Amino acid sequence: MPSTSRPLRKLGFLTIGLFDEADPRRGHESTLEIIELGERLGFDSAWLRHRHLQYGISSPVAVLAAASQRTSRIELGTAVIPLGWENPLRLAEDLATVDLLSGGRLNPGVSVGPPMHYDRVKEALYPDTADAENFGYERVRRLLDFVRGESATDFGGGEGFEAARRQPHIEYSSDRVQPQSPGLGSRMWYGGGSLRSAQWAGEHGMNFLTSSVVKAEGPEDTAAAPDFAQTQLAQIRAFRSHHPDGENARVSQGLVVIPTDSATPKQRAKYEEYVAKRTPRTKSPQGPARLLFAPDLVGSSQEIAERLHAHAAFREVDEVAFALPFTFGHEDYVQILTDLAGRLGPALGWRPGR
């Protein structure tokens, strides 16, 4: 294990894009303004979460299409699109289209598994095929194949005849998803929290998104609770050991980080209360899936930098997409992003992009 952290090469942020049901446009506009601010501050990437039947962005690819026309440099990602809600072929078309519009800045992150509350939504989502749908890794493999230019059909060429005038009317079809966007296949990310998902992502040449939630793996009857950082570290190493690029394979870490350098006393109090309410869940694995939650990091940039340098998994990554707390307001995000770019990032060895 390295004794010191790698210098931070890429600094990103992640937001859920909350909105008020009575005024959803304002919430979406706020998210676009935050992405524009991120570019001005020099962030390398901005990422959107994906929420269905909730008051958060349900169509991040559409929002990123809009963001691509209001920015010119910052990379735009999804963290993550749950593929259980998606048709891989149609999604591949959307991703390639937005990537072209952005000038090759899209970083799609995806995950597998049944949709949340599947028993309650399956009749609306898959009324005829609910019991036959495959929500495993095969769904990701299909998406990768389409994005990377593999055949989607055995037909390609011209067809058609304009019978009324007895003149040929030719339409040309492709056997691949169109458009194709060069380089997008190498910018596909898998959002995983287990050794199995880390290994699968590595074997299939994806990049790896690891967040503030991982799966506790190993014996359940040990006296001590599993250590989050060591668990996450094992997954990062498993990913790289199975990736063609080895130690150079890309990993991005997404902890919840809240610097308070320029926060008002009222904001500091709100942030500390938020973290205090979420801390108890970090003490032991949660639920049948034995999920481990990382403690949120709140405090001055110097204090947070010291905690990150002591974090075993952080020491092996040089990219991050720090998660913005879900329930904060626009002015809070402005303050947090300003401190991330102006104070915490440089304390971690990062320099803003231009």
Q: Are 15 and 78 in contact (CB under 8 A)?
A: no
245-270 burial, b if ≥16 CB within 10 A, otherwise e? eeeebbbbbbbbbbbbbebeeebeeb
CA angle (137 as vertex; 188, 228 as ends), nearest 5: 75
Kindly tell me if the per-residue pLDDT of 231 is higher than 70. Answer: yes
Kindly tell me if the per-residue pLDDT of 133 is higher than 60. Answer: yes
Confidence at residue 155, expressed as pLDDT on a 0 to 100 scale: 86
Question: Among 191, 198, 211, 192, which residue's Cα sits nearest to residue 239?
Answer: 198
Range of the structural domain that residue 240 is part of: 10-150+182-347
Is residue 251 one of the residues assigned to a domain? yes
> How far is residue 98's CA from residue 175's CA, in Å, rounded to a whole number?
21
> How far is residue 199's CA from residue 157's CA, in Å, rounded to a whole number?
39
Q: Are 35 and 71 in contact (CB under 8 A)?
A: yes
In total, the chain counts a number of residues equal to 354
Is residue 352 one of the residues assigned to a domain? no
Q: Name residue, tokens 């570019």.
A: 39
Q: Give the model confidence (pLDDT) of 164-191 as tens digits.
A: 555 566 788 999 999 999 999 999 999 9
Q: Give the model confidence (pLDDT) of 292-302 as tens digits.
A: 999 999 999 99
> How far is residue 75's CA from residue 68's CA, in Å, rounded to a whole number?
9
Q: Are 257 and 322 in contact (CB under 8 A)?
A: yes
Kindly tell me if the per-residue pLDDT of 331 is higher than 80. Answer: yes
> How far is residue 199's CA from residue 234's CA, in Å, rounded to a whole number?
11
Is residue 25 one of the residues assigned to a domain? yes
Confidence at residue 169, expressed as pLDDT on a 0 to 100 scale: 62
Q: Give the model confidence (pLDDT) of 30-52 as tens digits.
A: 999 999 999 999 999 999 999 99
- Mean pLDDT confidence for 114-130: 97
Residue type present at position 243? H
Instruction: For residue 47, give every residue at least 6 positions away whose Cβ sits within 8 Å of its Cβ, in sequence order, or none.
Output: 12, 13, 14, 15, 76, 77, 78, 79, 107, 109, 254, 321
| Helix or strand run (H / E) with residue 63 | helix 60-68
> How far is residue 34's CA from residue 47's CA, in Å, rounded to a whole number?
11
Is residue 330 one of the residues assigned to a domain? yes
Q: Give the model confidence (pLDDT) of 302-330 as tens digits.
A: 999 999 999 999 999 999 999 999 999 99
Is residue 155 one of the residues assigned to a domain? no
> How far is residue 219's CA from residue 73's CA, in Å, rounded to a whole number?
46
Rounded to the nearest angstrom, the gap between the alpha carbon of residue 243 and the centroid of all alpha carbons in its chain is 19
Strand partners, 45: 12, 75
- Mean pLDDT confidence for 85-89: 98
Question: Among 26, 4, 7, 9, which residue's Cα sits nearest to residue 17?
Answer: 26
User: Domain containing 217 — which CATH number?
Assistant: 3.20.20.30
Strand partners, 47: 14, 77
Question: Among 178, 169, 176, which residue's Cα sits nearest to residue 155?
Answer: 176
Kindly tell me if the per-residue pLDDT of 223 is higher than 60. Answer: no
Is residue 4 one of the residues assigned to a domain? no
Q: Give the model confidence (pLDDT) of 62-86 as tens digits.
A: 999 999 999 999 999 999 999 999 9
Is residue 87 one of the residues assigned to a domain? yes
Q: Give the model confidence (pLDDT) of 244-274 as tens digits.
A: 999 999 999 999 999 999 999 999 999 999 9
Is residue 354 one of the residues assigned to a domain? no
Confidence at residue 2, expressed as pLDDT on a 0 to 100 scale: 45
Confidence at residue 1, expressed as pLDDT on a 0 to 100 scale: 39
Q: What are phi and psi of 281, to 5 degrees?
A: -70, -10
Number of domains in the chain: 1
